Amino acid sequence: MSTIRSPGLILLAALAAAGTSAGADLHHVQITAASPTEAVRWYERHLDCEPVAHQRDTAACNGIRLIFVSQPTMGSSQGTGVDRIAFSYPDVAAKMAELEAVGVRGSGVRLQRFDDGSTHRPIPGLNRHGFLFDPWGTRIELVEDTKRLGFHHLHLSASDPQSTLRWYQVAFGGRPEQFPGGVSGLQFGSGWLLASSHSGAQPAPTSSRAIAHIAFEVPSLDRSVERLREAGVDMLGAPTVPANARSSAKRVFADGPDNVTVAVVEPGFAGVEAAEARHDRAYDGDAAAESYLTSRTPWGEPDLQGIWTGNAAHGIPLERPVALAGVEALTPEQAAARRERGTLGSIWGYEREWRDTTLGYDKMTPSTQVAMIFDPPDGRLPPLTEEGERRAREALLERERRASQPPAGPEDLTPYVRCITKGVPGMMIPGIYNNGLQIVQGPGFVAIHKEMVHEARVIPTTPRERVGPNLRTWLGDPQGRWDGESLVVESSRFNGRSPFRGSSAEMTLTERFTRVGPSRLLYEFTVDDPAVWVRPWSARFAFDLDEDQYELVEYACHEGNYGMFNILSGARARDREAAGASR
């Protein structure tokens, strides 16, 4: 008899006749996350769980383990047979205020507000509760229960809560208790199992959602499986040691009530080591460029044309982190975690699903390149000159002034906020979205169109007389030439109003575009600014050809965008508040 729907009386009777699994306990919850290591860090930081030694995908939370796995998901746990997990704090109002502040700054804390806009409210017997989501869709409830702090319970969404709880009781034990607030539940050593009525006809399956399954540990797996089979429970295979398991303990899956996938494990089960991901998108050295012969345009120049994306390079820092000195390349897991940290840190205006480079959405594998700078060899910016240090101090004072004073007008905002430019090479460096790059060639010219801000550069590739010796522009005056298979672009005569890392108007920027494979374009740039740095420095990363899927979308930075209006109207409101306070 299937147990996918609400368990019937015959099945419950059969389970009861077979006897309960004495000593069974809640063992773990398997949660889908784009980067398991970052998920562990998120739960450690925000919900006081602890990382488990030698298990990078596991967090220990007051007697129960959260095991994170990277796999495709259909979305949130809300509305599935396991609607949410819950943690208890002595002061939910204070905790929700803490999380709300974090969410404003970024890192993927998303609060679920009640109809009146509040983040928490009273609940009979528990003082207060509130809801949030982790960045990957798991619904989390915070409750006040001073008798049990930390991980508190699993909350099931059931077609028939009483029958569902009875199924778990006769299958795995658990002591029936009336949970504060009037919700029925079972109490296990590691927490509560609660069940509430599902609002629809039937909960969605857990197997394809954020909470993939829940697990119980039993003293004797073979005996428990035999009992469950005799009672008519659908067992999904036979007990076995999973591939890449961290221990010799066996595991088996069963169909639980309300579309819940239930794992049953032996003592000592420690999860599964994820298979090492294959990564083939890292830049593999100068030999790649030397071994690939670029196709030619009809007029005989190397053909760089196409729509490219820098998504794979998003997350590579400009400078080598000090902690990674001597590391040649990240592991694929480390690269994915770095990408996920960037995504979570940017969630202040958008959800992670809106980011072009979000893991699980972007088809480009994150680059394992440690840093962009390759010269100096230590991967760090060279020392500043005395003039560079003076300019850096002035820039810091200007940032502090802008942060402390409302802008008087658009001119007090950066060129990027004003939708003017990101400058070069800043416009080339990938961010969280709009990383498209289109290159079009014609005899004597190359046009480079960047998706962000929709900046277009038309670069002559034959020598020309430069017009206007005093003319200086945002993107400088470029001159291109062909050096073997590479396009080399030298730009100077900048206006200095959109500096890169503190560069001056006297910077000379040399860029090199080289097709190193059918679908890879190596981009290198050298910054030579003697007024700011004691020596030139160089960096590189790669773009990927993506003409089948990628297209440059409209960049409506002003049209229909209320950003500038809101910034300035907010500034005037602050002026009025300050004027009122001074009276």
Mean pLDDT to the nearest integer, 524-552: 94
Residue that the structure tokens 């593999």 belong to:
284
Amino acid 143: pLDDT: 94
* 556 exposure class (CB count in 10 Å sphere: 0-12, 13-18, 19+): exposed
Residues 345 and 203: their CA atoms lie apart, in Å, by 33
Residues 552 and 449: their CA atoms lie apart, in Å, by 9
pTM check: above 0.95: no
The rounded mean pLDDT for the chain is 89
Classify domain 9-93+138-265 by CATH number.
3.10.180.10
Q: Which residue has the higher pLDDT, 336 or 292?
A: 336
CB atoms within 10 A of CB 287: 9
Residues 234 and 254: their CA atoms lie apart, in Å, by 6
Percentage of the residues of the chain whose pLDDT score is greater than 70: 91
Interval 410-464: pLDDT, tens: 889 889 888 899 999 999 999 988 999 999 999 999 999 999 998 899 999 999 8
Ranges of each domain in the chain = 9-93+138-265, 286-545
Residues 333 and 485: their CA atoms lie apart, in Å, by 34
Q: What is the DSSP letter of 26?
A: E
Sign of CA dihedral 43, 46, 49, 53: positive
Cα 182 to Cα 168, 204, 215: the distances in Å are: 19, 24, 25
Most confident of 131-135, 287-291, 345-349: 131-135
Amino acid 377: pLDDT: 96
490: its two tokens: 């030298």
At residue 52, does pLDDT exceed 90?
yes
Amino acid 280: pLDDT: 45
Are 545 and 304 in contact by the 8 Å Cβ rule? The answer is no
